[in-house]
Structure 1
């Protein structure tokens, strides 16, 4: 394991090493992460820097380096600080209800902190709170005929769907924004060229529209898992 990976593991999983030199520690990893989250929430992940976070805390950048080796480790701390705890499974909830609640809560986390979409891509070390999201899905599907890799893949599939919808929502922007106005303009263009795009025009004009992609896609994913579980149950059940 690289030195950088070791630093991230230590910061996320503890116990963190205490500064060995200088005055008595005046900062904590929690305060540093909270300051980074504040910057990212206000200005986006690209605005986060050791200098800006240190300034927000009224410390020097060099002081910050006594606690966090660099920006990559800072972002890892920010993710662990900002992401919600996954929903605890209700005692009477079946696997499908548990995964529906899981997806809804993850979507809410991305909506509150859109920069999490950028901070949680690529190979990286997850903290205990973030890893508990994977645990919830794998545990909910345990005992239903799926292999371990299949349960892990189900978590990846669900997270990918939620992320995709969150990315689309972020790109679309709020009502009245330039991005939203472009979507309205697109609808106008489609209606003007209905002869070329009759299927799209008819679908857009049909009542009952709205932002239902998250729920629609989630239900289709869960339908697929239910069908697989049913097949496995029939195949592996008593004969």
Structure 2
């Protein structure tokens, strides 16, 4: 809590601190972006900054706190949403959140399970909840909407990154086509679906499709209250 939300006290004696928590976290982000979260250690971060590991403990107590900082700084503050409706606002919000997770795939792993969140991450939630403030949904329904959208974004982030190793141009389609080749008779429905999607040019639209269907349901619920 102190590392994410508070000001760590500056040592009164000795030389002026050469680092701050953001600089240390960004050094960890660079390592995680290249090599994954497992490669991030206090020792590696210290080496990248040209200091001893013990020097970092003046700012960050350990790896758990370091990763928490990395997540909050990596996601960053959300962009201002200039939208005419709650639906347009949440659509833009979901797309931007996907891009942040995609840019830092390790953050998907780092944000699983119970944990404290930082000011940037809470600001993402604030913007999404505020978009629904006048929708007629109660607090629980509003929070659940944000949870469902976030789950969809995270799921697509993980899948997209996984398939990136297959092909940079059309990872999902090319990966399945390689598997289906020579097995079309065994999986005719899947083969036909991929052929239809390729012909229509509507491949790799799962993010927007899912967001639209989630918000269709929310819109129906809101309309029913009227």
TM-score (norm. length: structure 1): 0.86
The answer to whether residue 23 in structure 2 is matched with residue 31 in structure 1 is yes
**Counterpart residue number, 1:5:** none
- Equivalent pairs, count: 221
* Contact 1:35-1:57 within 8 A present in 2 as well: yes
State whether structure 2 residue 193 is matched by structure 1 residue 200. no
How far 1:17 sits from its partner (Å)?
A: 2.5
C-alpha separation in 2, matches of 1:157 and 1:16 = 35
1:84 corresponding residue in structure 2: 76
CA contact (8 A) 1:191 1:201 kept: no
After TM superposition, give the deviation of residue 149 of structure 1 in Å: 1.1
Aligned match for 2:134, one of 132, 143, 148: 143
Looking at structure 2, the residues matched to 21 and 65 of structure 1 have their Cα atoms a distance apart, in angstroms, of 16
Structure-2 residue corresponding to 1:44: 36
Contact 2:101 / 2:107 at 8 angstroms: preserved in 1?
A: yes
- Equivalent pair of 1:165/1:213 in contact (CA under 8 Å): yes
Unmatched segments (≥5 aa) in structure 1: 1-8, 235-239
Taking structure 2 as the reference length, the TM-score comes to 0.91
Alpha-carbon RMSD across the aligned residues, in angstroms, is 1.9
Please state if 1:171 is matched with 2:162: yes
Q: Does 1:115 align with 2:102?
A: no
1:118–1:19 distance in 2 versus 1, CA, 3 Å: farther
Distance in 2, Cα, partners of 1:100 & 1:51: 40
The change in CA–CA distance for 1:127 and 1:215 in structure 2 (over 3 A counts) is same
Once the two structures are TM-superposed, the CA of residue 196 in structure 1 deviates from its matched residue by: 3.1
Q: Judge conservation of contact 2:152–2:210 (CA < 8 Å) in 1.
A: yes
Q: 1:215 aligned to 184, 208, 221, which one? A: 208
- CA contact 1:87–1:101 (8 Å) conserved in 2: no
Structure 2 residues without counterparts, runs of 5 or longer: none
- The equivalent of 1:104 in structure 2 is 95
